[in-house]
């Protein structure tokens, strides 16, 4: 990494939402240049810091803040719901505000502080048409022609949701890895397995595109809630139990609202030696 941060180090924050963890780099007050190579090096849980996504903060003329997301393999992602909530929570605390507008490749997202102390983000309207998700060819997105008839949903990134009797019995690593690269998804896909455990209550497990098994995923939670409502399994206001904890999704008239806890774990500095080696 050949910018001036290589000689002075690079500050970062570590955050998580339900165990879905992130490294956050604030470019608004420095000259850091974040690349896919840096994202891959940082995402290594043995030789770097480790994360599910890297979020980069920049200024925006039409929003309070702009966010760019990288997966652990260095690829980019248009949306990352839990990271958006974590960053929004911190910014609202710093600015002593109850609402915030964040700009992502997904579009302008509205965040607010909930009465229960959690943070909510409206992730926008879901994409339900095959070409917007996108899929490789025209088809009904409610039941894909794949064993298990999953549902495809776009939340700024593609999702493939399977509804099964017991999500905990699924071999997530094997099935998730295979489905991520299914030819129906030209941009690869996030994969979820969900089972109904009560009225408007789902158990869900996640394989994230470019990452692997994760404890939670905000956009995946939105996609599964939308898919479950479309299939008549639940209403539009759903509670989901993930490996990392519980999140609440409301598919409202103005978009899919996601509410859950956030955590800022620590702040650190990447050393010049680490940066020089990238």
> How many distinct structural domains can be found in the chain?
2
- Same structural domain, 101 and 144: no
| Predicted local distance difference test score (pLDDT) of residue 5 | 57
| Predicted local distance difference test score (pLDDT) of residue 88 | 97
How many Cα atoms sit within 13 Å of 102 on the Cβ side? 33
| Predicted local distance difference test score (pLDDT) of residue 123 | 97
- Same structural domain, 90 and 151: no
CATH number for the domain spanning 57: value is 3.10.310.10
- Same structural domain, 248 and 266: no
- Same structural domain, 135 and 52: no
- Same structural domain, 213 and 149: yes
Q: Which two tokens stand for residue 218?
A: 């905000």
- Same structural domain, 19 and 114: yes
| Predicted local distance difference test score (pLDDT) of residue 1 | 47
Q: Which domain holds residue 101?
A: 5-122+262-276
Q: d(Cα 55, Cα 83) in Å, to the nearest integer?
A: 7
pLDDT averages per 10-residue partition of the chain, 278 residues: 64 97 90 89 96 96 96 93 96 96 95 92 98 98 98 97 98 97 98 98 97 96 98 98 98 97 96 93
Q: d(Cα 58, Cα 22) in Å, to the nearest integer?
A: 16
- Same structural domain, 116 and 140: no
How many Cα atoms sit within 13 Å of 45 on the Cβ side? 8
Whole-prediction pTM: 0.93
- Same structural domain, 189 and 136: yes
**Residues 6+ positions from 94 with CB-CB distance below 8 Å:** none
- Same structural domain, 114 and 171: no
Main-chain dihedrals φ then ψ at residue 224, nearest 5 degrees: -65, -40
- Same structural domain, 118 and 134: no
- Same structural domain, 15 and 106: yes
- Same structural domain, 9 and 70: yes
């Amino acid at each position: 990494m050949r910018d001036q941060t290589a000689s002075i180090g690079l500050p970062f924050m570590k955050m998580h939402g339900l165990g879905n963890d992130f490294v956050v780099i604030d470019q608004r007050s420095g000259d850091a240049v974040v690349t896919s190579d840096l994202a891959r090096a940082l995402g290594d849980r043995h030789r770097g810091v480790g994360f599910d996504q890297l979020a980069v903060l920049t200024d925006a003329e039409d929003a309070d803040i702009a966010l760019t997301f990288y997966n652990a393999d260095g690829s980019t992602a248009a949306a990352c719901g839990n990271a958006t909530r974590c960053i929004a929570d911190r910014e609202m605390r710093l600015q002593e505000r109850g609402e915030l507008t964040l700009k992502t490749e997904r579009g302008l997202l509205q965040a607010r502080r909930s009465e229960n102390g959690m943070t909510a983000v409206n992730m926008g309207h879901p994409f339900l048409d095959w070409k917007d998700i996108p899929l490789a060819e025209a088809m009904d997105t409610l039941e894909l022609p794949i064993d298990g008839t999953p549902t495809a949903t776009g939340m700024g990134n593609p999702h493939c949701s399977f509804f099964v009797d017991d999500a905990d019995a699924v071999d997530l690593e094997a099935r998730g890895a295979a489905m991520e690269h299914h030819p129906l998804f030209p941009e690869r896909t996030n994969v979820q397995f969900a089972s109904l455990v009560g009225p408007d209550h789902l158990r869900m497990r996640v394989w994230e595109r470019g990452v692997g098994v994760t404890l939670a995923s905000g956009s995946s939670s939105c996609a599964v809630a939308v898919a479950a409502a479309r299939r008549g399994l639940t209403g539009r206001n759903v509670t989901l139990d993930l490996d990392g904890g519980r999140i609440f999704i409301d598919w409202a008239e103005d978009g899919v609202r996601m509410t859950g806890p956030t955590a800022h774990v620590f702040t650190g500095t990447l050393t010049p030696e680490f940066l020089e080696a990238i």
